[in-house]
């Protein structure tokens, strides 16, 4: 029997974000009817079982006085690695209002950024739709979620190397990112740094069949080769931090290679 469900996923980027944080959205795309139906090596019943997935790339509303166009206003979002991406919707669009999306993915922005009340209220509104919408925070997305009040009295991951900073910034939150790669608290899911977003998406899709039937989730994870790492970090926090510090010290004594220098001449 064909799956007639459609999963609506919003990727919320009010300002800028890390490209690799956002890239985990492609794991969801690989679970879609649209993606799987284009793979001739898979039997037809696989794509028939998969849901359609609609993606909404959402950013802040344009500044007052800025004209918009149809299709969406030309607002290019700045990602790392020099990538610029076109948003499909802003926070005022009726199609992305709280209650309209199944999943909101929050990739990591600059942790020093600040956001206006409209941006924070938009995210808060989605999180409050607990029976409808799940919020997935990747890496420093936790700062945006915290600013919107989503972390209060929650158990949360966040980047492993800045747990003390997070505890100071959000004292009403229990941070477990030294131990866990990803963690769920109600309809709020969070993970550690950057590529842990892949593990987060895999864990989310596997957690229930609300959106993605188990065979579809597993096939996509196997094709993408994600979701094999455990929820608990294998390396203890002290070893992780010492290894990082050692590379910083080591860098003082390393010179650019002669080969690189010759290419630059």
Give the per-residue SS3 of 78-126. EECCCCEEECCEECCCHHHCCCCCCEEEECCCCCCCCCCHHHHHHHHHH
pTM: 0.90
Give the CATH number for residue 190. Answer: 3.40.50.880
Q: Is 94 left (phi over 0), alpha (psi -120 to 50) or beta?
A: alpha
Domain assignment present for 194: yes
Q: What's the full length of the chain, in residues? A: 265
Domain assignment present for 241: no
Q: CA-to-CA distance for 94 and 185, rounded, in angstroms?
A: 28
**Average of per-residue pLDDT across 64-70:** 54
Q: Which of 58-62, 165-169, 215-219 has the lowest mean pLDDT?
A: 58-62
Q: In what order do the strands lie in the sheet with 182-185?
A: 89-90, 52-59, 6-12, 103-106, 134-137, 188-191, 182-185
For the cut 70, the answer to whether the pLDDT of residue 74 exceeds it is no
For the cut 80, the answer to whether the pLDDT of residue 253 exceeds it is yes
Domain assignment present for 148: yes
What is the extent of the structural domain holding 104? 6-235
Among residues 191, 204, 189, 184, the alpha carbon closest in space to that of 233 is found at 191
Domain assignment present for 231: yes
C-alpha R_g of the chain: 20
Domain assignment present for 192: yes
- Residue 66 pLDDT grade (very low, low, confident, very high; cuts 50, 70, 90): low
Is residue 31 within 8 Å of 152, Cβ to Cβ? Answer: no
For the cut 80, the answer to whether the pLDDT of residue 263 exceeds it is no
Q: CA-to-CA distance for 55 and 77, rounded, in angstroms?
A: 16
Domain assignment present for 198: yes
For the cut 70, the answer to whether the pLDDT of residue 260 exceeds it is no
Q: Which of 33-42, 147-156, 251-260 has the lowest mean pLDDT?
A: 251-260
Domain assignment present for 70: yes
CB atoms within 10 A of CB 97: 14
For the cut 70, the answer to whether the pLDDT of residue 68 exceeds it is no
Domain assignment present for 171: yes
Terminal alpha carbon distance of the chain: 64
Q: What is the bridge-based pairing of β-strands 89-90 and 182-185?
A: unpaired
The helix/strand/coil state of 82 is coil
For the cut 60, the answer to whether the pLDDT of residue 234 exceeds it is yes
**Average of per-residue pLDDT across 61-72:** 60
Number of domains in the chain: 1
pLDDT above 70 covers a percentage of the chain that reads 91
**DSSP H or E segment with residue 17:** strand 16-17
- Residue 259 pLDDT grade (very low, low, confident, very high; cuts 50, 70, 90): low
**Average of per-residue pLDDT across 117-124:** 99
Q: What pLDDT does residue 3 have? A: 80
């Amino acid at each position: 029997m064909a799956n007639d469900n459609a999963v609506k996923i919003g990727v919320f980027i009010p300002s800028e974000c890390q490209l690799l944080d956002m890239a985990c959205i492609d794991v969801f795309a690989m679970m879609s009817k649209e993606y799987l139906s284009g793979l001739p090596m898979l039997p037809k019943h696989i794509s028939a079982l998969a849901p359609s997935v609609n993606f909404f790339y959402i950013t802040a509303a344009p500044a007052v006085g800025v004209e918009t166009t149809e299709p969406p206003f030309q607002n290019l979002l700045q990602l790392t690695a020099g990538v610029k991406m076109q948003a499909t919707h802003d926070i005022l669009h009726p199609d992305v209002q709280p209650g309209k999306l199944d999943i909101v993915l929050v990739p990591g922005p600059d942790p020093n950024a600040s956001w206006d009340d409209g941006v924070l209220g938009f995210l808060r509104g989605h999180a409050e739709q607990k029976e409808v919408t799940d919020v997935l925070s990747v890496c420093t997305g936790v700062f945006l979620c915290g600013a919107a009040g989503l972390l209060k009295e929650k158990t949360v991951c966040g980047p492993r190397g800045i747990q003390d900073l997070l505890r100071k910034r959000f004292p009403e939150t229990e941070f477990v990112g030294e131990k866990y790669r990803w963690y769920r608290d109600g309809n709020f899911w969070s993970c550690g740094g950057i590529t842990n977003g892949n593990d987060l998406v895999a864990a989310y899709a596997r957690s229930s069949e609300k959106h993605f039937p188990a065979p579809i989730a597993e096939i996509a994870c196997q094709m993408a080769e994600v979701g094999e790492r455990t929820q608990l970090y294998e390396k203890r926090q002290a070893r992780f931090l010492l290894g990082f510090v050692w590379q910083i010290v080591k860098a003082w004594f390393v010179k650019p290679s002669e080969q690189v220098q010759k290419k630059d001449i």
